[in-house]
Chain A
Amino acid sequence: MKPSIAAFALFCMISFSPATAAPQPWHALTPAQQEALAPMVQQWAGLSEEQQRSLLDVARHYPDLSPEEKQRFLSRLGTWSKLTPKQRQAAREKYRAFSQVPEDKKEQVRQIVREEQEKKAP
């Protein structure tokens, strides 16, 4: 394997490996991380290392999002972090299964959900 390719692969692997295990105080986060995780500022200190780590993993992708996606992200983050780990896992599985569904079926489900939401909205 060419040295530079090996180095690149190593870089990829390192950047995807879990971050350091120790829980971090809020002020130790970078500004970018704090922006992404702003809804969690109150609860941050009370979170376990695991949960902090997964939130930081997720925050890493925040800068890549569109403005609309950023808004959705911030508004859902609170609810998401209040779920139990089992509920989060179940949600990931549902999402994964849903994403493998053919596009036309997906669109049908989306349409139904949209209509339900419109009915609920005043």
Chain B
Amino acid sequence: MLPFIPSKRSIELSTPAELSQFLCHAERRAYKQALFAVRDEHTALDIVQDAMIKLAEKYGDKPADELPMLFQRILQNTIRDYYRRQKVRNAWTTLFSSLAPKNEEDEFDPLESLVDDNNPSAPPLPDAELQQKQVIARIERALERLPSRQREAFLLRYWEGMDIIETAAVMGCSEGSVKTHCSRATHALATALKNTGVELP
């Protein structure tokens, strides 16, 4: 039997349940954000876990209303770190695989076949749910193709619901830059969706 008891004093601080609630609420969007940036599910999960741990360890006792901005800053920084590492890795892969046959790592998107009129095996008109999935896939791919700063600004402002000041603080840039990034992102996304000929609901 190992004898040990720490003495304890109760101090009222931001509770573990508040952090838990916040993470529960934020984790899916965080995963998607990471996925748009690095385009790999395992890496995206690693990024989210990394960011959550950093938040819990460094800011675990902050008041609940400070958590969103802190977490976003950590998340964006973590994404950037992984992304840079992945780019380096991809550069090497590209260098050595240039003589290899067609790259089989290209993601196969079964929905592609639905919009290709030349594909004889394409099923007839998709139903509403499938069409929605198609639209979502288009949006997500368009987001992936955005320059990272534009994507970051767009998602922070419109998906995380931050205002221009908060977005600028998280991104470490000026408010003017945020506005520019956001409008460019919006236009780029609108263009990408326009070209698909798919009407947004």
Q: Judge whether A16 and B21 touch: CB under 8 Å.
A: yes
B100 within 8 A of A: no
B5 within 8 A of A: yes
Q: Judge whether A97 and B6 touch: CB under 8 Å.
A: yes
A121 within 8 A of B: no
Q: Judge whether A16 and B17 touch: CB under 8 Å.
A: yes
B191 within 8 A of A: no
B42 within 8 A of A: no
B23-79: which have CB < 8 Å to A?
24-25
A5 within 8 A of B: yes
Interface residue SS majority, chain A: helix
B187 within 8 A of A: no
B20 within 8 A of A: yes
Q: Judge whether B25 and A8 touch: CB under 8 Å.
A: yes
A94 within 8 A of B: yes
Q: Judge whether A2 and B161 touch: CB under 8 Å.
A: yes
Q: Which residues of chain A are near B24, meaning CB under 8 Å?
A: 12, 16
Q: Judge whether A94 and B161 touch: CB under 8 Å.
A: no
Nearest-neighbor residue (CB-CB) of A15 within chain B: B24
Nearest-neighbor residue (CB-CB) of A116 within chain B: B2
Q: Judge whether B8 and A94 touch: CB under 8 Å.
A: no
B108 within 8 A of A: no
A28-59: which have CB < 8 Å to B?
none
A73-92: which have CB < 8 Å to B?
90
> A1-B161, A2-B161 are known contacts. Are A94 and B21 too (CB-CB below 8 A)?
no
Q: Which residues of chain A are near B20, meaning CB under 8 Å?
A: 16
Nearest-neighbor residue (CB-CB) of A89 within chain B: B8
> A1-B161, A2-B161 are known contacts. Are A12 and B5 too (CB-CB below 8 A)?
no
Query: Could you tell me the distance between the alpha carbons of A2 and B8 in the complex, rounded to whole angstroms?
Result: 42
List residues of chain B with CB under 8 Å of any chain A CB. 2, 4-6, 8, 17, 20-21, 24-25, 161
Instruction: Give 20 CB contacts A-B under 8 Å.
Output: A1-B161, A2-B161, A5-B25, A8-B25, A9-B21, A9-B25, A12-B24, A12-B25, A13-B21, A16-B17, A16-B20, A16-B24, A90-B5, A93-B6, A93-B8, A94-B4, A94-B5, A94-B6, A97-B6, A113-B2
Q: A8-B25, A12-B21, A13-B21 are in contact. List 15 more A-B contacts (CB 8 A).
A: A2-B161, A5-B25, A9-B21, A12-B24, A12-B25, A16-B17, A16-B20, A16-B21, A16-B24, A90-B5, A93-B6, A93-B8, A94-B6, A97-B6, A113-B2
List residues of chain A with CB under 8 Å of any chain B CB. 1-2, 5, 8-9, 12-13, 16, 90, 93-94, 97, 113
